[in-house]
Amino acid sequence: MARLLYVCVRPQAGAAAAEYESFRTGARLEPGELDRIDLVRERLPPDATERWSGFVVGGSPFNLTDPESTKTDAQRAVEADLERLAREAAAQRTAALFTCYGIGIVTRMLGGEVTRAFPEDTGPVAVELTAAGERDPVFGGLATRFSALTAHKEGAGRTPPGAVLLATNEGCPAQAYRVGDRLYATQFHPEPTAQAFTERMAVYRDDGYFDSGDYDAIAARVLAASITEPARILQGFARQVTS
């Protein structure tokens, strides 16, 4: 059962397919080593933690802080399934890496606060490892300060109860944390190359992450950035789960 499952929570099929490839290639996995499921269109199987050895959760245009009255049934189902998966990983019954939108699910599940007070613009940001991050088995091999790609409207100012802060920055202090030794969460995107990120930007250029007229300028800034460290998180997580 040494296979990982990519958990898709993007309604846009093209963006989801590209994100799967970014996770697979970023983690240096063969196609048969990374399965996929689309939670927007199907539910997480009850026996998921028995069928797969670990999970990587992608991003989403959904926001946890959206008013409940505006959430679709699909969005509520996604939240419920991801929270179930987060609880299993927090209890050390499986391994999971939640990214971007997913970190909000984990934070809320643990009793932390997710707000609109910590958004980050679309593009590269500087992230710094904490002392705990430097010692972490997954994050410890990274440069202590590196560039990562972000695009989010909500975040957290501190880690939730029971979590160990691994990476931070001024704009969104809870950039990455660990719960126990089997649950990881990052606010930034660890999977895309700069080129893949600009292609994702094109899909979401009218979704309020940035002024659509600024696409070319932001894309140029992304393509000029050196994005070397985040994918190493995927590789470290995959090694830990499948070895």
Every domain of the chain and the residues it spans? 4-242
Q: Pairing state of beta strands 164-168 and 176-179?
A: antiparallel
Identify the three-state secondary structure at position 23. Answer: helix
Entry pTM: 0.97
Of 216, 193, 212, the closest CA to residue 204 belongs to: 212
Q: Pairing state of beta strands 34-38 and 145-152?
A: unpaired
Q: How far apart are CA 63 and CA 66, in angstroms?
A: 5
CATH T-level fold of 4-242: Rossmann fold (3.40.50)
Integer CA distances (angstroms), 94 to 2, 30, 42, 149, 241, in order: 12, 21, 21, 27, 9
User: Do 64 and 156 form a contact (C-beta atoms < 8 A)?
Assistant: no
What is the chain's pLDDT, residue by residue, as a tens digit (243 residues)? Answer: 568 999 999 999 999 999 999 999 999 999 889 999 999 999 999 999 999 999 999 999 999 999 999 999 999 999 999 999 999 999 999 999 999 999 999 999 999 999 999 999 999 999 999 999 999 999 999 999 999 999 999 999 999 999 999 999 999 999 999 999 999 999 999 999 999 999 999 999 999 999 999 999 999 999 999 999 999 999 999 999 988
- What confidence score (pLDDT) does residue 242 get? 87
